[in-house]
């Protein structure tokens, strides 16, 4: 049995910080309890790692193959392929709508507490503030948020939902707002309607965003509409190749947009322009 000292993972100095820490993350609501679907987060990698390392971090709900596919990488990509620090990676996972009207990642990921870990550190630094320490405590029935112990297994409830948007099936993508961003730029970047983004996230002022705030961005669901029912497992599958081609093109255009401080839709339109043609 571990001693009380060993169980106290949060030093006194950190305790005051934890109690005062803001909580930007919020679970998304859902209207159909029991519904399951695929969701994703845009995870900013805190330290250099590999895709195998990311798959291990988001265990129990995300496989290596799913992680590679979500980022437009071939299925035969080496698990040891490097992921640079601060790179943003799309992490897909299973989502389940609860009976309480809140949706959460289904069954995981599961995090094993390390020495000197605190719940706020786990929420903020390990999982990118997509969850708060209060939400982790609730999900794991922790009565005292300042008492966890090394080796303890914690379920991390990532935000998600399965609700349709404007009558369409979408994949809800949890996005962490960067410093200085506005909803118009975020909407343009992901090719979604700004009004839909504002309504979905209950935002009254488009410019009133906080760094680290988590937004629900409704992306087209490739398992619905014309893609529904088609096999998407094989890396050589024609549909997968087409989808990956679109992703690579989109990533390139997003990079150009960022470099020249343009909105994604402006670059996307001009990508089909004749040489020298202005828009």
pLDDT in tens, the chain (279 residues): 444 444 444 443 344 344 444 444 565 889 999 999 999 999 999 999 999 999 999 998 899 999 999 999 999 999 999 999 999 999 999 999 999 999 999 988 999 999 999 999 999 999 999 999 999 999 999 999 999 999 999 999 999 999 999 999 999 999 999 999 999 999 999 999 999 999 999 999 888 899 999 999 999 875 544 334 333 333 334 434 444 454 555 544 444 444 334 444 444 444 444 444 443
Beta-sheet strands, E only, within the chain: 36-44, 49-50, 82-83, 88-97, 103-105, 110-112, 153-155, 170-176, 214-220
> Could you tell me the two tokens for 15?
């305790």
What is d(CA 14, CA 71) in angstroms, rounded to the nearest whole number? 36
Q: Which residue has the tokens 């000292």?
A: 5
Question: Rounded to 5 degrees, what angle do the CA atoms 113, 116, 122 make?
Answer: 50
> Between β-strands 170-176 and 36-44, what pairing exists: parallel, antiparallel or unpaired?
parallel
What is d(CA 276, CA 84) in angstroms, rounded to the nearest whole number? 36
pTM for this model (two decimals)? 0.73
């Amino acid at each position: 049995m571990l001693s009380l000292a060993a169980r106290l993972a949060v030093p006194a100095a950190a305790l005051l910080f934890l109690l005062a820490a803001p909580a930007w993350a919020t679970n998304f609501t859902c209207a159909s309890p029991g519904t399951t679907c695929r969701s994703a987060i845009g995870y900013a990698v805190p330290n250099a790692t590999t895709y195998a390392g990311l798959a291990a971090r988001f265990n129990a709900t995300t496989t290596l193959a799913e992680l590679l596919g979500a980022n437009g990488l071939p299925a035969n990509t080496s698990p040891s392929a490097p992921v640079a620090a601060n790179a943003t990676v799309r992490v897909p996972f299973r989502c389940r709508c609860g009976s309480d009207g809140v949706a959460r990642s289904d069954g995981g990921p599961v995090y094993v507490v390390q020495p000197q870990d605190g719940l706020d550190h786990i929420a903020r630094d390990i999982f990118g503030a997509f969850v708060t320490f209060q939400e982790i405590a609730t999900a794991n029935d922790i009565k005292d948020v300042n008492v966890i112990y090394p080796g303890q297994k914690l379920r991390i409830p990532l935000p998600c939902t399965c609700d349709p948007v404007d009558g369409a099936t979408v994949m809800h993508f949890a996005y962490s707002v960067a410093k200085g961003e506005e909803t118009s730029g975020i909407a343009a970047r992901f090719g979604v309607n700004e009004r839909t983004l504002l309504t979905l996230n209950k935002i009254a002022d488009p410019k009133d965003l906080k760094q680290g705030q988590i937004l629900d961005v409704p992306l087209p669901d490739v398992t619905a509409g014309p893609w529904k029912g088609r096999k998407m497992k094989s890396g050589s599958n024609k549909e997968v190749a087409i989808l990956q081609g679109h992703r690579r093109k989109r990533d390139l255009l997003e990079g150009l947009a960022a470099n020249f401080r343009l909105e994604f839709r402006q670059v996307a339109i001009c990508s089909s322009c004749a040489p020298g043609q202005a828009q």
